[in-house]
Amino acid sequence: MVDLKQRPVARKAAGRTPPERPRLRDRVSRVEVRWSPYLFIAPFFVIFAVFGLFPLVYTAWVSLHDWDITGAGAFVGLDNYVTLFADPDFWNSVYNTVGMLVLATVPQLLMALVLASLLNQRLRAVTFFRMGVLLPIVTSVAAVGIVFSQIFDRDAGMVNGLLGLVNVDAVDWRADKWSSWTAISTMVNWRWTGYNSLIYLAAMQAIPRDLYEAATVDGAGKIRQFWSITVPNIRPAIVFTVVMSTIAGMQLFTEPLIFGQGSFAISGGSLRQFQTVSMYMFEKAFRDFDYGYGSAVAWMIFLLITLLGVVNFLITRRSR
Amino acid sequence: MGVRPGRALLATTLLGSLVAMSACGGGAAGSASGDVTLIVKTFSQFGYDELYEEYEASHPGIKIKEENIGKLGDYTPKLQQWLATGKGAGDVVAIEEGILSQFMAKPDQFVNLLDHGAEELSGNFLPWKWQQASTPDGSKVVGLGTDVGAQGMCYRKDLFEAAGLPTDREAVGALWPTWDKYLETGKLFKSRRPDIGFYDSTGSVYLNMLMQSGDHTYYDASNKLVIDSNTAVRTTWNASIDMVKAGLSANIEQWSPQWNAGFKNGTFATIPCPSWMLGTIEKQAGPENKGKWDVTRVPGDGAVRGGSFLAVPTQSTHQKEAAELAKFLTSAKGQTAAFKAKNNFPSSPQAIDDPAVRDFKNPYFNDAPVGKIFGDSVKALKPVYLGPDNNAIGDRVGNALLAVEQGKLQPDEAWAKAVDDAKRLTK
């Protein structure tokens, strides 16, 4: 950076007198100044290239082929994508994924907001509660899936047991879209609400106290303070959690897979009631061994996430 | 939210490469000292431990290492990765019959066992088992048969008694010479014990009937999809729907936690059981239920479900030694030992007639003569041609049946959906 400013001076000097042979040490140090920043950030890009970029490009390459269990087949151009666009199972899985995304993200972030503002009060044992909300995220996702699958079991599940107490008929949770989505979203919400509320809490603690004091003097109640001071002040944190939840929600996989049953659980229910796009990708690639088609689905997930990211960005920019 | 599949995949890949590296390490160390280490890849339980010891003892310089993956569903994608990348498949791989039919389309990833003297062994296997792993022109043999999923019918004695039905296995077998009679027995059972399912789920009963209904199912011998023109499939479907309508099903999907618990709790009274399922039942029902489950003949004329092969991938660096080991493990003697260890029913006629198999009684199932029951079932069987996407189509038909059980589709709608799904899959 310093170098840049000095360059014009050096050039002028060079114009008047015959150029001096730059000494080796100077040259080395110039090279060092110039290139060492790149070297310092290189590890990220090297790892990204190997584990991020290469799979991405290679997947695109595979998706242009008729690639089956015995290896690379014929180059088929965009055939896989053409089939995909007319594939009702694919669109069904997109619908399911977006549905569960809404069902999991909206209540989750609202609950996290409320929870964070409660944790931001003066409480007894506040550290205990703050760490407590983080516990679900430490739990293994497979364990969560197994336990909640039992809770939402048709014959012996706790939820149906409680419904029975108030004379509601037992629900076959895996048989309908609404019921399976509810069960799966519950798992996601249970696991991630605490995590998001801690992010909100951190943002809330950065809000100057005098804002609240002034509002109290002006006669604003707690709820009014929450919506008019807290929420606007933690907007960046909210944007962050919305974007992260969207990305993760589009890749929802383990919870619905464990919730599904039997040897064909990857289909997400008898009529694919809760099959997500990631599950459909896995089914196509690793169950039907249609790698080309599976790769095309993978690329569509990537594009969908990008699309949702752009939409998120536009919405948040407009509301700024 | 949740584990990102990308990461899970990455972790699996890393783990896989670690395993591969350690496998290579073992091989290299072995060859340095003049030893050959053969890696055998299996899924589920093949029951080979004693055979390995015996083989190592009689073949100095050969070490055997088995690398096992519990579930077939986890094993198959790995196997595919090993074959696609040309690394990690080891020297001998186990292949399930449903997957084998996909590999048979392009068998060049496996060593031709005819080059290693397999020709003279053809008499050691049931003819259709030998055929399954041979190319149509018979010029190449990809795998040697291990077990076959010989079918029996498992039933809960105490539930039969409570419903006033006979409990003796001969008498129970006599209740259902055909599947129609099985349906009638089920109706009788349900009229007396309406709270208990007669069987676990319709999918497995359907599969059994289908495997008895002709020489081909969803595909004809030229690999053309015939799911809607093969009347045997539709007839079997209709028979299954009759059972659903009669309310015989407990609507519990196989391999689910509820299914596992069902063996213990007695939520269903019968289940068509391939020989390898006896181990599952014993494990899930537990020692406290010993003697409550029994085995008898399956309705109709014999049936099989599942069964595997051993093959040598071309990437093996010890193909000759590996082929010898595969021949040993699949010999009549090897199959008999595997049967004794893990109930994997032999595909070798000599092993089936071996007194050790023929007279074998399973103590957990009231000393049921399983060797005889399964042996009769296998011998009555006519081979069924499966075709490339057989398993995937079977999954879809199973889902359609499940949707009928759940009351989400009418039988005709479900059938139309199954046919449509199969056509889209194979397009």
Contact B421, B394 (CB under 8 A): no
Q: pLDDT tens digits, residue range A276-309?
A: 999 999 999 888 888 899 999 999 999 999 998 8
Give the model's confidence band at B68: pLDDT under 50 very low, under 70 low, under 90 confident, else very high: very high
Amino acid found at B306: G
Cα(B62)–Cα(B60) distance, integer angstroms: 6
The pLDDT assigned to A18 comes to 57
Contact with chain B for residue A141, Cβ under 8 A: yes
Q: Does A87 touch chain B (CB under 8 A)?
A: yes
Nearest-by-CA chain A residue for B404: A270
B2 neighbourhood in chain A, CB within 8 Å: 141, 188, 191, 248, 251-255
Q: Looking at chain B, which residue has its C-alpha nearest residue A188?
A: B1
* Interface with A, mutate which of B1, B78, B103, B255 (most A CBs under 10 A): B1
Cα Rg of chain B, angstroms: 22
A254/B2 Cβ within 8 A: yes
Contact B5 A270 (CB under 8 A): no
Residue B3, pLDDT above cutoff 70:
no
Inspect the interface and report whether the beta carbons of B102 and A289 lie closer than 8 Å. Answer: yes
Query: What is residue B67's predicted lDDT score, i.e. its pLDDT?
Result: 94
**Chain segment B199-224, per-residue pLDDT in tens:** 999 998 999 899 888 888 999 888 89
Beta bridge partners of B152: B273
Preferred mutation among A80, A241, A261 to probe B, highest tally of B CBs within 10 A: A261
Residue in the structure block whose two tokens are 């309908």: A176
Chain A's closest residue to B99, CA to CA, is A69
Flag if B258 and A261 touch (Cβ within 8 Å): yes
* pLDDT tops 70 at residue B49: yes
Average model confidence (pLDDT) for chain B?
A: 87
Q: Which of B2, B258, B425 is opposite residue A155, by nearest beta carbon?
A: B258
pLDDT > 70: percent of chain B: 92
pLDDT category, B332, cuts 50, 70, 90? very high
Determine the number of helices (DSSP H) and then strands (DSSP E) in chain A: 17, 0
Examine the pLDDT at A268 and tell me if it is beyond 70: yes
Give the whole-angstrom CA distance, residue A126 versus residue A122: 7
Partner-chain residue, chosen from A176, A261, A282, that has the shortest CB–CB distance to B256:
A261
Residues B421, B343 contacting (CB under 8 angstroms):
no
Q: Which of B62-76, B84-98, B378-392, B400-414 reaches the highest mean pLDDT?
A: B400-414
* Chain Cα centroid distance, residue A268: 21
What's the pLDDT score for residue B270? Answer: 96
Distance separating alpha carbons of residues A316 and A265, to the nearest angstrom: 38
- A255 to B2: CB separation less than 8 angstroms, yes or no: yes
Name the residue among A280, A311, A312, A310 with its Cα closest to residue A298: A280
Q: B103 in contact with A at a CB cutoff of 8 Å?
A: yes
Contact B257 A149 (CB under 8 A): yes
pLDDT higher than threshold 80 for residue B106: no
C-alpha span between B365 and B169 (Å, rounded) = 11
Contact B285, B157 (CB under 8 A): no
Q: How far apart are CA A23 and CA B7, in angstroms?
A: 50
- Tell me the shortest Cα–Cα distance from A103 to chain B, in angstroms: 13
> If DSSP codes are grouped into helix, strand and coil, which group holds residue B309?
strand
Question: pLDDT-derived band of residue B188, with 50, 70 and 90 as boundaries?
Answer: very high
Distance separating alpha carbons of residues B74 and B77, to the nearest angstrom: 6
A71-92 per-position pLDDT tens digit: 777 899 899 999 999 999 999 9
Which pLDDT does position B84 carry in this prediction? 81
pLDDT of A19 reads 58
A294 touching B (Cβ < 8 Å): no
Element (H, E) at B272: strand B268-274
Express the helix, strand and coil content of chain B in percent, nearest 5 each. 55, 15, 30
Domains of chain A as residue ranges with CATH:
83-150+179-319 (1.10.3720.10)
Lowest mean pLDDT among A15-24, A49-58, B148-157, B168-177: A15-24
- Which of A70, A172, A199, A257 is most worth mutating to test chain B (most B CB atoms within 10 A of its CB)? A70
Distance CA B207, CA A275 (A): 24
pLDDT value at position B21? 40
Q: Is B253 on the interface with A (CB under 8 A)?
A: yes
pLDDT in tens, A202-226: 999 999 989 999 999 999 888 899 8
Contact A251 B2 (CB under 8 A): yes
- The pLDDT assigned to B313 comes to 94
B contacts of A84 (beta carbons < 8 Å)? none
Helix (H) or strand (E) holding B156: strand B143-156
User: Any idea how long chain B is?
Assistant: 427
Burial class (CB in 10 A: 0-12, 13-18, 19+), A1: exposed
A5, A29, A39, A50, B140 from A35: Cα distances, Å: 18, 10, 7, 22, 60
Contacts of B277 in chain A (CB under 8 A): none
A257 — pLDDT class (breaks 50, 70, 90): very high
pLDDT in tens, B7-27: 444 444 444 444 444 444 333
CA distance A138 to B228: 51
Out of A6-20, B94-108, B320-334, least confident range: A6-20
pLDDT level of residue B77 (50, 70, 90 thresholds): confident
The amino acid sitting at B134 is: S
CB atoms within 10 A of CB B13: 13
Q: Is B102 on the interface with A (CB under 8 A)?
A: yes
Mean local confidence (pLDDT), A23-42: 87
Model confidence, pTM: 0.81
Q: Is B228 on the interface with A (CB under 8 A)?
A: no
Task: Say if the Cβ atoms of A69 and B102 lie within 8 Å.
Answer: yes
Q: How many C-alpha atoms does B254 have within 13 Å on its Cβ side? A: 19
Cα–Cα distance, A99 to B413 (Å, whole number)? 25
Degrees to nearest 5, angle at CA B398 with A294 and A154: 100
Residue B34 confidence (pLDDT)? 63
The least confident of A77-86, A190-199, B275-284 is B275-284
Arithmetic mean of pLDDT over chain A:
88
Task: Tally the C-alpha atoms within 13 A of residue A148's C-alpha that lie toward its C-beta.
Answer: 29
Which tokens go with B43? 């899924």
Has residue A262 got a pLDDT over 50?
A: yes
The nearest alpha carbon in chain B to A89 belongs to: B421
- Cβ contacts of A53-58, under 8 Å, gap ≥ 24: A56/A302
Question: Average pLDDT of B395-405?
Answer: 94
* Residue among B8, B10, B256 minimizing CB distance to A262: B256
Model confidence at B304: pLDDT above 90: no
List for chain A the helix, strand, coil content (%; round to 5): 75, 0, 25
Q: Which pLDDT tens digit goes with each residue over B35-44? A: 899 999 999 8
Question: A263 and B255: CB-CB below 8 Å?
Answer: yes
B94–chain A nearest CA distance, Å: 16
Mean pLDDT of the B271-296 span = 91
